[in-house]
Amino acid sequence: MKAPFILHIDIDAFFAAVEVMLKPSLKGKPVIVGGMPDERGVVCTASYAARKFGVHSGMALRTAAQKCPSGIFLRGRYHIYSQISRRFFDFLNRLSPGVEGVSIDEAYIDLRGMQYLYPSVYQMAQSLKESVEKEIGLKVSAGLGFSKLGAKLATEVAKPGGFFFLGDERTFVSNLTLEKIPGIGPHTLLILQGLGIKRVKELESAYPSIWKKLIGPHLYSSSRYPGNTQGQAKSCSRETTFPEDISDREMIMSHLAYLVDRLSVYLIEHHLFSGRIEVKVRFSDFSTFTRRTTLEFPTSSYQHLWKTSLFLLNQLLKKKKLALRLVGVKVEDMMRQRDLLPFVCLKSEKLSHGVSDIRKRFGFSSIFTGRELFLEGIYPVEREGMVLKTASLTK
């Protein structure tokens, strides 16, 4: 029988765990990272003590404060989280050539070829988990699987701090409800639920062809091994909730420009190009819309990303005649290599690289686009950028 060779590792309550590591008196306390209890915006991470009160990431800070009045609310120190994340991925990349980043604190590792060093694949996984914990000083949960889906679901069972292997993945998955399967979006879910289908096994017996499309690839596809993405996430996003709802279009554009600028810097620093871009808005009535498009060519240039995201923003603003409370942007389909491009495209990239070099020497805030300067009067400007109301980081 084939051995399970995919390990999924997820840092437990990442941001909150870092805060506890830096300030041990917080240990065991309900730590909530994301902002102050009376602020707009959402919880980024809640410690397990806070989760007992029903607080979870994505929840409005005010709701979290109601559920957990004793919560210790922190704004978060994102540059520290990024540093630890980098150490986490550097370490994984030294372990295996097949590391696929899922997000800032989560990755798949291809263990094939390493089993000869250990008595069994289970001992190997357990030992790798422990060495990761030692390296970053934080607890992680780990799942071993035949497929990425199986490994990720095993991690869910293992949380917090444990290690798990599902064994018979197909049976395990068939008993799950559909919303537990990554990649099944809310629309598909609604349609299937409308047909009276709640669990994977009901889908398999009633609509085997849909099962084959939605579930099969997760379990059997040849691409189920983690690809080497050098520890890079497949997508990267930046978003912010405004201190107050904004209806002024120029001001909304300035916020978006700043977020696009941050993304462009991220791409350049990581030697990546993005193939797709998505813009997200949330109106004052909390309705949220996204729109995405494939870029003309894969790029890291601010000018190109900005041009396309502005086009998407203008389409989104037509949806409702309301003020906005949040704007965000995401790049997807990130790649390291692309085909040769016409000279004209490279020009604006050279400009972005030049700007990036200046910022490396003198700090991010040493140079801004004119549009971004509108924000200077609203937010404090530090060396490494503006301090927006809610931090924006890939989750």
Catalytic residues, by residue number, are 106
List b or e across 95-132, with b for residues whose CB sees 16 or more CB atoms inside 10 angstroms: bbebbbbbbbbbbbbbbeebeeeeeebeebbbebbeeb
Cβ proximity to Mg ion: between 18 and 197 the closer is 18
139's CB contacts (< 8 A; 6+ apart) are 11, 12, 17, 133, 160, 161
* Token pair listed for 148: 């990425």
Cβ proximity to Mg ion: between 18 and 72 the closer is 18
For the purposes of burial, counting CB atoms within 10 Å of the CB of 175, is it exposed (0-12), middle (13-18) or buried (19 or more)? exposed
Q: How far is the CB of 43 from Mg ion (least distance, A)?
A: 14
Q: How far is the CB of 14 from Mg ion (least distance, A)?
A: 5
Q: How far is the CB of 321 from Mg ion (least distance, A)?
A: 39
Q: How far is the CB of 17 from Mg ion (least distance, A)?
A: 9
Cβ proximity to Mg ion: between 97 and 137 the closer is 137
142 touches Mg ion (CB under 5 A): no
How far apart are the C-alpha atoms of 131 and 117, rounded to whole Å? 15
Q: Which secondary-structure segment (H or E) carries 241?
A: strand 236-246
Q: Which stretch binds Mg ion (CB under 5 A): 14-22, 122-130, 306-314, 320-328?
A: 14-22
Q: Which stretch binds Mg ion (CB under 5 A): 13-21, 61-69, 172-180, 326-334?
A: 13-21
Strand pairing report for 324-335 and 273-283: antiparallel
Cβ proximity to Mg ion: between 104 and 272 the closer is 104
3-state secondary structure of 325: strand
Cβ proximity to Mg ion: between 61 and 158 the closer is 158
Segment 150 to 179, residues that bind Mg ion, using CB under 5 A: none
Contact residue for Mg ion among 4, 6, 10, 33 (CB under 5 A): 10
List b or e across 21-60, with b for residues whose CB sees 16 or more CB atoms inside 10 angstroms: beeeebeebbbbbbbebebbbbbbbbbbbbbebebebebb
8 A C-beta contact, residue 86 and residue 230: no
Q: Residues 25-64: x/- map of binding to Mg ion (CB under 5 A)?
A: ----------------------------------------
Segment 350 to 389, residues that bind Mg ion, using CB under 5 A: none
8 A C-beta contact, residue 123 and residue 165: no
3-state secondary structure of 101: strand
Q: Which secondary-structure segment (H or E) carries 145?
A: strand 140-145
76's torsion region: left (phi>0), alpha (psi -120 to 50) or beta?
A: left
Number of residues that bind Mg ion (CB under 5 A): 4
Q: How far is the CB of 372 from Mg ion (least distance, A)?
A: 32
Q: How far is the CB of 60 from Mg ion (least distance, A)?
A: 21
Q: Residues 94-133: x/- map of binding to Mg ion (CB under 5 A)?
A: -----------x----------------------------
Cβ proximity to Mg ion: between 163 and 364 the closer is 163
> Which residues form the interface with Mg ion (CB under 5 A)?
10-11, 14, 105
